[in-house]
């Protein structure tokens, strides 16, 4: 009994340590520097929910539905501030790390090694961004569904079969890809498993989990009065046009998949994944007939999912966020090697490589902030964002697009005063997507991001332009908008494009800061 209590206490301390480390390492990463369009992408949209302005129904989004509602929860419970916003991302890092650790325990992985791989995983998972990011939410929920699949196959566990489609659905409602690829992989492997090892109870719970997920979503649309057509256009059809464009080179050449399919990109950027993935493929094929139980399914889903995650990174041309696959793949290879030879010393080589990669990417992404293009910026020039507002406490402000943080902060502060003092019904279009939250005012956002290249919302000549235009006009009419404020470095481009969404409205424009801040009163055309 004493030994049992001692063991439980050690496990409690271990879990507590993982929670604290996962939280702290992400908070540390988020503390310095911003990339406005990414750093704040889910700040004001989460706040809008608190003002009864719902994504898809009232404003345009094409990603991150789950992320917005989770964000709204954190803002409600912990306050409308930067600390709550970062806590949201830190919480997801905790969820991811604990899930990984529990999964390793479920497959009877060595406890010390499990802790090591988990700490590495926590270092490389959410901290690369530090703030809520739809792709990472989707990645985490996808991984959890993979973990449940492996446990379901290993233990013939009906509860795991029930939870698989639920987490798949949560992944999809965070971001369509890589979730869709993982869903297809899991569905395909589940059918194969059920054909070989049919268990009516497991099939029942798998179908029940799928049905329940769909039902809850339908009820959500019904009770929030969100038209399904809005969901279809925003979350399915419009994103498909982005994906179609990226399968070939276009005017945005860096987004073309063809341009990404080169040795430097495939091997160079993902070399630490391939270090473990290639040997794992060899081992999985070489010992396929000797492997017993669930191990073949285990290896197959990890290998296929790894390719899916890499492909998605190439397709989207985003900054790399899947570095936590390094300790995951290493742990899977480690597990396979010890199954073949329990005394093998090769595992120490794996540990060394993981340790090296973790330190390397921690400094490059978590400290140097490469994910937000801040790796070449002198971050010692960062200014405490409290200078903008007390609710931004905890953030050191510096931005690649404006290397004079003091000037940028003064510009934002001046804009805040003007917007706050204007009692008219207004819309704010900006890359600083925290202003509604800071002012605690519904500024009637039109969509999450404002890029004018058909990658965030339809612009002129896009096949869904008219649908989006109709949404904008309904927003303006419903909320009786009198003035639109534009704030950002591309002010002129903002104005040029926003005019395309109005047919019978003219603008009485006023420049408040050259090329950065302007107001545009909506008037009847003469």
Could you read off the pLDDT of 205-216 as tens digits, one per residue? 999 999 999 999
Written in H, E and C, the secondary structure of 153-182 is HHHCCHHHHHHHHHHHHHHHCCCHHHHHHH
Distance of CA 67 to the CA centre of its chain: 8
**For residue 391, pLDDT beyond 60:** yes
136 dihedral zone (left: phi>0; alpha: psi -120 to 50; beta): alpha
The pLDDT value recorded for residue 261 is 65
Task: Report the pLDDT averaged over residues 11-37.
Answer: 95
Which of 293-297, 334-338, 363-367 shows the lowest per-residue confidence on average (mean pLDDT)?
293-297
Task: Name the DSSP class of 176.
Answer: H
Which residues, 6+ apart, have CB-to-CB distance to 311 below 8 Å?
A: 178, 181
The pLDDT value recorded for residue 1 is 36
The string of pLDDT tens digits covering residues 413-452 is 999 999 999 999 999 999 999 999 999 999 999 999 988 7
**For residue 245, pLDDT beyond 70:** no
Total residue length of the chain: 526
Contact in structure between 176 and 241 (CB atoms under 8 Å): no
What average pLDDT does the structure give for the chain? 92
The pLDDT value recorded for residue 8 is 86
* CA–CA separation, 398 and 384 (whole Å): 9
**For residue 73, pLDDT beyond 50:** yes
Helix extents (H) in 366-456: 405-421, 435-439
Range list of β-strands (E), 281-389: 383-384
**For residue 466, pLDDT beyond 50:** yes
| Distances in whole angstroms, Cα of residue 5 to Cα of each of 16, 18, 105, 364 | 16, 20, 18, 42
Task: Report the pLDDT averaged over residues 455-465.
Answer: 90
The pLDDT value recorded for residue 494 is 82
The tokens for 20 are 């604290």
The pLDDT value recorded for residue 315 is 85
Task: Name the DSSP class of 267.
Answer: I
Task: Report the pLDDT averaged over residues 160-171.
Answer: 98
Confidence of residue 65 (pLDDT cuts 50, 70, 90): very high
Nearest Cα to Cα of residue 213 among 166, 158, 151: 166
The string of pLDDT tens digits covering residues 304-351 is 999 999 999 988 878 899 999 999 999 999 999 999 999 899 999 999
The pLDDT value recorded for residue 324 is 97
The pLDDT value recorded for residue 491 is 77
The pLDDT value recorded for residue 37 is 86
Contact in structure between 298 and 287 (CB atoms under 8 Å): no
**For residue 402, pLDDT beyond 90:** no
Would the pTM of this model clear 0.85, i.e. be above it? yes
Return the residue matching tokens 């929860």.
Answer: 73
* CA–CA separation, 291 and 327 (whole Å): 22
The string of pLDDT tens digits covering residues 174-230 is 999 999 999 999 999 999 999 999 899 999 999 999 999 999 999 999 999 999 999
**For residue 256, pLDDT beyond 80:** no
| Helix count and strand count (H, E) for the chain | 22, 7
The pLDDT value recorded for residue 3 is 45
- Give the number of other CB atoms < 10 A from CB of residue 324: 28
Contact in structure between 38 and 372 (CB atoms under 8 Å): yes
The pLDDT value recorded for residue 228 is 96
Task: Report the pLDDT averaged over residues 454-479.
Answer: 91
Nearest Cα to Cα of residue 294 among 107, 96, 32, 460: 107
Return the residue matching tokens 């992404």.
Answer: 365
Nearest Cα to Cα of residue 15 among 130, 98, 114: 98
Return the residue matching tokens 């799928």.
Answer: 210
According to DSSP, the β-strands at 483-487 and 517-524 are: antiparallel
- Give the number of other CB atoms < 10 A from CB of residue 287: 15
Confidence of residue 253 (pLDDT cuts 50, 70, 90): very low
């Amino acid at each position: 009994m004493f030994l049992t209590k001692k063991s439980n206490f050690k496990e409690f301390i271990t879990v507590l340590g993982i929670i604290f480390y996962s939280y702290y390492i992400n908070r540390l990463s988020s503390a310095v520097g911003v990339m406005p369009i990414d750093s704040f992408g889910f700040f004001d949209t989460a706040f809008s929910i608190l003002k009864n302005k719902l994504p898809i129904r009232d404003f345009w989004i094409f990603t991150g539905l789950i992320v917005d509602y989770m964000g709204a929860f954190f803002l409600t419970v912990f306050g409308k501030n930067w600390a709550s916003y970062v806590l949201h991302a830190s919480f997801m890092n905790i969820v991811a790390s604990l899930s990984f650790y529990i999964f390793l325990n479920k497959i009877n992985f060595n406890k010390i090694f499990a802790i090591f791989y988990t700490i590495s995983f926590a270092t490389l998972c959410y901290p690369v961004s530090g703030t809520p990011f739809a792709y990472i939410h989707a990645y985490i929920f996808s991984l959890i569904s993979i973990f449940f699949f492996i446990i379901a196959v290993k233990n013939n566990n009906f509860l795991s079969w029930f939870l698989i489609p639920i987490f798949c659905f949560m992944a999809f409602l965070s971001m369509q890809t890589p979730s869709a690829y993982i869903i297809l992989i899991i569905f395909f492997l589940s059918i194969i498993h059920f054909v070989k090892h049919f268990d009516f109870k497991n099939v029942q719970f798998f179908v029940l989990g799928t049905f329940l997920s769909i039902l809850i979503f339908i009820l959500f649309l019904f009770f929030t009065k969100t038209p399904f057509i809005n969901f279809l256009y925003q979350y399915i059809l419009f994103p498909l046009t982005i994906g179609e464009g990226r399968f070939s080179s276009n005017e945005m050449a860096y987004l073309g998949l063809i341009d990404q399919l080169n040795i430097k990109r495939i091997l160079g950027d993902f070399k630490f994944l391939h270090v473990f993935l290639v040997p794992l493929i060899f081992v999985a094929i070489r010992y396929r007939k000797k492997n017993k139980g669930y191990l073949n399914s285990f290896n197959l889903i990890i290998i296929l999912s790894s390719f899916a995650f890499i492909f998605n990174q190439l397709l989207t041309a985003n900054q790399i966020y899947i570095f936590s696959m390094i300790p995951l793949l290493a742990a899977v290879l480690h597990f396979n090697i010890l199954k073949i030879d329990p005394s093998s010393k090769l595992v120490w080589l794996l540990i060394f490589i993981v340790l090296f990669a973790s330190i390397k990417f921690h400094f490059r992404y978590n400290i140097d902030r490469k994910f937000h293009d801040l790796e070449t910026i002198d971050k010692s020039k960062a200014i405490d964002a409290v200078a903008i507002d007390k609710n931004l406490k905890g953030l050191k402000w510096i931005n690649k697009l404006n290397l004079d943080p003091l000037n940028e902060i003064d510009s934002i502060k001046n804009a805040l005063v003007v917007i706050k003092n204007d009692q008219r019904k207004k819309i704010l279009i900006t890359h600083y997507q925290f202003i509604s939250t800071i002012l605690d005012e519904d500024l009637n956002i039109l969509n999450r991001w404002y890029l004018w290249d058909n990658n965030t919302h339809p612009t002129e000549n896009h096949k869904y332009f008219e649908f989006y235009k109709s949404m904008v006009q309904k927003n303006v009419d419903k909320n009786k908008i009198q003035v639109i404020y534009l704030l950002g470095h591309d002010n002129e481009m903002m104005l040029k494009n926003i005019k395309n969404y109005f047919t019978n409205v003219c603008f009485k424009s006023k420049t408040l800061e050259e090329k950065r801040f302007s107001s545009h009163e909506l008037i009847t055309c003469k």
